[in-house]
């Protein structure tokens, strides 16, 4: 009861701060900023206090408004996201005090930040569908005003409108899913709907289970909000907005897809093929986003495509059934990406001061006396470390923490991707030129071991915190599983592809085969470079579609006599 009575103040405090600023402090710049920051400090303190109380005493609380709107659900997912959103928002508020000092609409900007924080806090803790839908919609509206805060920049307003259109397109599947769930389970309360899904008979619509159809629509809404391919175009083009807004958006708003999957986890238990589809979409988005990130010469747009790739990994984790790992990824990426965005100005300043142009080669060879031939590990030793070490470390860490997880396909796939990532890091280290390559390799191996053990322990215990019922977590992994023979063949095929690629790269690097193959592959390389530099032409296709729609709308206006 105490948890519920105190919890209602977490979203109320920033909302009240926004109202006070708009009503009394519109022209008082410094008092508005002070009120906003102080309110966020209280909000974060209260969110942390509620999280600590839950960890010590347990118990899930609910705040019911007595009607069909305004109910909150204070479960582990809500409490941990309250602390995360409040912390990110406080950092953004403090950074904005000086960053926005010369901008017009200073007090209005802090009011919008407070309103956005309040709406996100309501969204992640909504206990019924109407509250969730209202908060989901308002996040897009407030983001439009924040991205277009500077009216003097036409590009900011144009790309804010792109974001608004994409968000409204993504809202439609969520509304349809809500209508289906309310119609077949006769309630707007999420706990009631989940209980009836779990214990009631399966409902059918058009010959399909309602859970699968609703899960498909929910996944579509999550894809649009989390910039999954090909609904990603709005994300990298919102960089004309204020940097604090970019930090808040990439750290908290674009992650909403992972939250939606976790909130409706009891429904996705009965929608296995939707999880398979989510895995494919997430994997495609991760590869494309990571590739496009490397092609950018603008630091903020590069961070935008990096976020796209990370959101792909997050959705891919949900598709594997590792829902709690997706939340952990959401939080870790949020703090990491917020710090990168808020520090992007310093990077630009350093680049202007130090252009990175290498010195004269004669000066380098004579004065600095660099070695003519780089010192590297032997090829066979580096290859053995690359292939063997990551999989041994990952397997042992998971074996000692939770042995039964080896029987879940999702964990095996995550181990496989961890092995690939670790091997890539070791391979990159092998190609680096260093005076002492053994010291470099030992340092990377030690850091890799520490990271993997930390990831394994945190993800395991964090998963137990979010889903205390171990049966529910196992059911999610079961829903994401495929046929055993197909799964084994897929893992063996991917392993052969990666090992073959590394082997070919090692031999190419060692025997300088690249010179002989350079001419044959030059056309392929240039074509791939052109494709990536044009961002797969997706933005061009969308722009052409928008031009066609505008032309037909003008003709329709003339035909109807409206203009």
Positions of the chain with pLDDT under 50: 367-374, 510-517
Question: How many helices (H) does the chain have, and how many strands (E)?
Answer: 24, 4
> In this structure, what are the phi and psi dihedrals at residue 151, rounded to the nearest 5 degrees?
-70, -10
Spell out the residues 6+ positions from residue 155 whose beta carbon is closer than 8 angstroms to its own. Answer: 240
Task: For residue 136, give the H/E element and its range.
Answer: helix 129-147
Quick one: pLDDT at residue 364?
52
Report which DSSP code applies to 26.
S
Q: What pLDDT, on a 0 to 100 scale, did the predictor assign at position 525?
A: 66
The predicted pLDDT at position 512 comes to: 47
Q: What letter does residue 403 receive in the DSSP assignment?
A: G
Residue 46 and residue 42: Cα distance in Å, rounded? 6
Name the one residue in this structure whose structure tokens are 């709406």.
119
> H/E element holding 336?
helix 323-342
Distance CA 215, CA 226 (A): 16
- Output the CA–CA distances (angstroms, integers) from residue 370 to 363, 414, 428, 433, 435, in the order listed: 10, 41, 21, 11, 10
The helix (run of H) or strand (run of E) holding residue 294 is none
Beta strands 72-74 and 204-205 are unpaired
Compute CA distances 325 → 14, 201, 219, 330, 532, whole Å.
29, 30, 17, 8, 30
> Rounded to whole angstroms, how far apart are CA atoms 235 and 307?
9
DSSP 435: S
Whether the model clears a pTM of 0.85, i.e. scores above it, the answer is no
Q: How many residues does the chain have?
A: 563
Helix (H), strand (E) at residue 208: strand 208-209
Contact 110, 20 (CB under 8 A): no
pLDDT score of 42: 93
Short-list 206, 311, 218, CA closest to 267: 218
How do beta strands 208-209 and 204-205 pair?
A: antiparallel
Residue 557 is predicted with a pLDDT of: 82
Taking the domains of the chain in order of start, what are their residue ranges?
1-127, 135-346, 375-511, 522-563
Q: Which of 216, 224, 118, 214 is nearest to 168 (CA)?
A: 224
Q: Which helix (H) or strand (E) holds 61?
A: strand 61-63
Pairwise CA distance, residues 338 & 331, whole Å: 11
């Amino acid at each position: 009861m105490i948890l519920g009575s105190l919890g209602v103040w977490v979203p109320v405090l920033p909302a009240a701060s926004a109202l006070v600023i708009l009503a009394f402090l519109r022209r008082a710049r410094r008092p508005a900023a002070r009120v906003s920051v102080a309110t966020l400090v209280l909000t974060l303190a209260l969110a942390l206090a509620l999280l600590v109380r839950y960890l010590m005493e347990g118990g899930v609380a609910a705040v019911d408004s007595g009607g069909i709107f305004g109910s909150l659900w204070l479960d582990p997912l809500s409490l941990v996201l309250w602390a995360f959103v409040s912390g990110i928002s406080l950092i953004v508020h403090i950074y904005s005090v000086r960053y926005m000092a010369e901008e017009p609409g200073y007090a209005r900007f802090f009011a919008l930040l407070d309103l956005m924080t309040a709406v996100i806090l309501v969204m992640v803790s909504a206990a019924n569908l109407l509250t969730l839908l209202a908060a989901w919609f308002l996040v897009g509206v407030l983001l439009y005003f924040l991205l277009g805060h500077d009216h003097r920049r036409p590009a900011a307003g144009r790309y804010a409108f792109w974001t608004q259109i994409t968000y409204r397109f993504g809202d439609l599947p969520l509304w349809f899913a809500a209508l289906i769930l309310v119609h077949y389970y006769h309630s707007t309360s999420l706990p009631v709907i989940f209980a009836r899904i779990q214990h009631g008979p399966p409902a059918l619509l058009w010959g399909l289970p309602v859970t699968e159809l609703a899960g498909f629509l929910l996944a579509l809404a999550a894809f649009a909000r989390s910039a999954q391919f090909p609904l990603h175009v709005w994300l990298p083009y919102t960089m004309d907005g204020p940097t604090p807004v970019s930090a808040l958006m990439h750290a908290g708003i674009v992650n909403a897809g992972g939250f939606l999957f976790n909130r409706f986890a009891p429904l996705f238990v009965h929608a296995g093929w939707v999880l398979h589809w989510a895995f494919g979409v997430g994997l495609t988005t991760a590869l494309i986003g990571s590739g496009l990130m490397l092609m950018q010469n603008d630091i903020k747009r590069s961070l935008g495509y990096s976020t796209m790739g990370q959101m792909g990994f997050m959705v891919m984790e949900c598709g594997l059934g590792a829902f709690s790992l997706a939340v952990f990824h959401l939080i870790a990426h949020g703090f990491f990406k917020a710090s990168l965005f808020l520090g992007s100005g310093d990077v630009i300043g350093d680049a202007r001061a130090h252009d990175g142009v290498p010195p004269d080669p004669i000066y380098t060879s004579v004065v600095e006396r660099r070695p003519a031939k780089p010192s590297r590990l032997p090829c066979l030793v580096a290859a053995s470390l690359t292939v063997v070490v990551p999989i041994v470390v990952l397997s042992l860490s998971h074996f000692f923490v939770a042995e039964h997880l080896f029987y879940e396909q999702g964990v095996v796939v995550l181990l496989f991707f961890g092995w690939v990532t670790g091997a890539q890091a070791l391979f990159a280290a092998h190609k680096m030129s260093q005076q002492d390559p053994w010291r470099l390799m030992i340092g990377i191996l030690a850091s890799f071991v520490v990271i993997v053990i930390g990831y394994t322990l945190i993800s395991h215990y964090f998963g137990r915190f979010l889903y205390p019922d171990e049966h529910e977590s196992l059911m999610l992994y079961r829903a994401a599983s495929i046929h055993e023979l197909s799964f084994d063949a897929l893992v063996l095929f991917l392993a052969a592809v990666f090992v073959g690629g590394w082997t070919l790269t090692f031999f190419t690097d060692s025997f300088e085969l690249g010179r002989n193959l350079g001419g044959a592959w030059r056309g392929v390389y240039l074509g791939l470079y052109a494709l990536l530099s044009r961002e797969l032409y997706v933005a061009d296709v969308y722009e052409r579609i928008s031009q066609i729609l505008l032309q037909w709308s003008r003709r329709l206006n003339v035909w109807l006599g409206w203009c």
